[in-house]
Chains A and B, each alone.
Chain A
Amino acid sequence: MTILNIDWFFALEKLILIAVVITGALVIAMYSTYAERKVAAFIQDRRGPNRAGPFGLFQPLADGLKLFFKEEIIPSHSNKVLFVLGPSLAMLTAMMTSAVIPWGSKVELFGRSIDLQIADINIGILFVFGVVSLGVYGILIGAWSSNNKFSLLGGLRGASQIISYELAMGISLIALLMVTGTLSLKEMVEQQRHGHWNIIHQPLGFLIFLICAFAECNRTPFDLPEAENELNCGYHSEYSSMKLGFYLFAEYINMFISGAVMACLYFGGYDIPFVDESALAVNTAAILGAVALLVKVGLFIFLFMWVRWTIPRFRYDQLMRLGWKNLIPLSLLNMFVTGAWILWKSKSH
């Protein structure tokens, strides 16, 4: 159906896809909070939430309800517009990155071939980077508008941390781009489906990317912006009710998205290991591929939690030293070696 030169079915299928992806991301973020508490408990030899529903499975609902019923406080000395904008921006940027991630290959429905990706833009990974950098504005604006010194310090830390680690992350990514020769996430995944996973070509690059992803998500050991014991919860110390919930939720969505990005970049995205997808029916392959991607993301989320409950927080100077003096030289070296390897390979052919 084409009216006004717009394919409306195409628009509809994209809208449905967006709804599914956002709902999925929210549900996964919700249950990440549950998983976080369970993992924390198990690592500390406890049982974790087990009262609400079987195995405590309704705990996230109870937590969400609690956040809604909490008193909504906007401090009188705060900048009200920015105070509300902060958490909204954090949530928005967390959601936006999901647009370019390929969640699966094609599905065939009603005679149409539908891509399981909201937008396959040719600068996919660049878009992810841009939006992730915007994410710190949520923290920074919220921290600044609270008009509280602890919040401001937390926001400053967040900003400087993201600047420092984005450099190393970007350089480690350049090495990957030199290998793949494309910025589109879909194309990267397709390359990995037909060849090797990028982790084989770029193990050091992946390690740097992983460490930087921890820093970008503000996860322990890099959770300096909200350091409870020194900054009194940092950037969100003035927040209450669902505005606080938005900040906490955005962190979990960020975790989910960065897990998905890492799976796509280094672990073959929706590629199922040791299975030839072309032997399967198109729809089955797509669904199994999406499940495979979700399993990979789940493993990454578990890794995030596992690290959080193992390692204490870095000191601020240690954080800066690790970023500027270790990771950036290492990623530069990685880029140099990759370039030399590509050059040598092209010469030898």
Chain B
Amino acid sequence: MQSLTQRAQPVDRRPMTWVEKIYLWNIFRGMLITLVHLFSKKVTINYPEQTRPFSPVFRGLHILNRDEEGRERCTACGLCAVACPAEAITMEAAERLPGEEKLYREEKYAARYEINMLRCIFCGLCEEACPKDAIYLTETIAPANYSRRSFIYGKEDLLIPDPNTQPAEYAKARGQIDKKKKAGA
């Protein structure tokens, strides 16, 4: 029968020679191999201290963006929820009342905004659909949790820090968004 590839090797079925029977020489050769590995470079990355660099288009947990004055950008248009193939996003719209101009950028805002991280497939279509520059996927990996309920992330989990009260944290979050924008452009 013709072999499929030309790489087949016949098995050596000769009886063992005396040197092979006594094992010692072969064991010695094996030990040399392991000795080389003893001093070779380790491939492990010390995870919490060192992290592997992510691809610039990596898609992790979502954040809801604020503008420079700390106002929420989301207007609860629902385009992200429509775009979502996994139907992970739920929202409830509300009208901005007089005196809330410092909180919300437009007249309409999301009173409730929830993403079910168990449903989410991290495709990033919400990010693409958003006309208001409000939702972004970060480099954070969705953490483990104990209950299904706790995987439903509300506004308090998703919104980035307010630049008025926490400028340093806001700058950090903005840095991630800018990196993302650059990678997308």
- Residues of chain A touching chain B, judged by Cβ–Cβ distance below 8 Å, are 39, 42-47, 50, 207, 306-307, 309-311, 322, 326
Contacts and interface: CB of A to CB of B under 8 A. Distances in A.
Contacts of B30: 310-311
Interface string B29-69: 01101110111101110100000000000000000000000
B118 interface: no
> Helix, strand, loop or mixed for chain B's interface?
helix
B94 interface: no
B44 A309 contact: no
B37 A42 contact: yes
B38 A42 contact: yes
B35 A44 contact: no
B38 A46 contact: no
A130 to B, nearest CB: 29
B27 A45 contact: no
B37 A45 contact: yes
Contacts of B21: 326
Contact of A47 (B24, B27, B38, B46): B46
B42 A306 contact: no
A46 B42 contact: yes
Interface of B: 21-24, 27, 30-31, 33-35, 37-40, 42-44, 46
Nearest to A39: B38
Contacts of B44: 45-47
- The 8 A-B residue pairs with the shortest CB-CB distance, nearest first, are A310-B34, A43-B34, A42-B38, A47-B44, A310-B30, A310-B31, A43-B37, A47-B42
A272 to B, nearest CB: 26
A311 B27 contact: yes
Contacts of B40: 45
Contacts of A310: 27, 30-31, 33-34
A311 B38 CA distance: 15
Contacts of B23: 322
A322 to B, nearest CB: 8
17 contacts: A39-B38, A42-B37, A42-B39, A43-B37, A44-B37, A45-B37, A45-B43, A46-B42, A47-B42, A47-B44, A50-B46, A306-B31, A307-B31, A310-B30, A310-B33, A311-B30, A326-B21
Contacts of B27: 307, 310-311
A309 B30 CA distance: 10
Given A39-B38, A45-B37, A326 B31 contact: no
B118 to A, nearest CB: 30
A45 B34 CA distance: 10
Contact of B22 (A42, A43, A46, A326): A326
A90 B109 CA distance: 73
Contacts of A45: 37, 40, 42-44
Contacts of B43: 45
Given A306-B31, A310-B31, A43 B38 contact: yes
B82 to A, nearest CB: 47
B34 A306 contact: yes
A181 to B, nearest CB: 30
A306 B35 contact: yes
Contacts of A47: 42, 44, 46
A2 to B, nearest CB: 55
Contacts of A306: 31, 34-35, 38
A45 B37 CA distance: 6
Contacts of B22: 326
B34 A309 contact: yes
Most A C-beta atoms less than 10 A away, residue of B21, B24, B33, B42: B42
Nearest to A309: B34
A50 B27 CA distance: 30
Contacts of B33: 310
Contacts of A42: 37-39, 42
B4 to A, nearest CB: 31
Nearest to A221: B27
Nearest to A207: B24
Most A C-beta atoms less than 10 A away, residue of B22, B31, B33, B38: B38
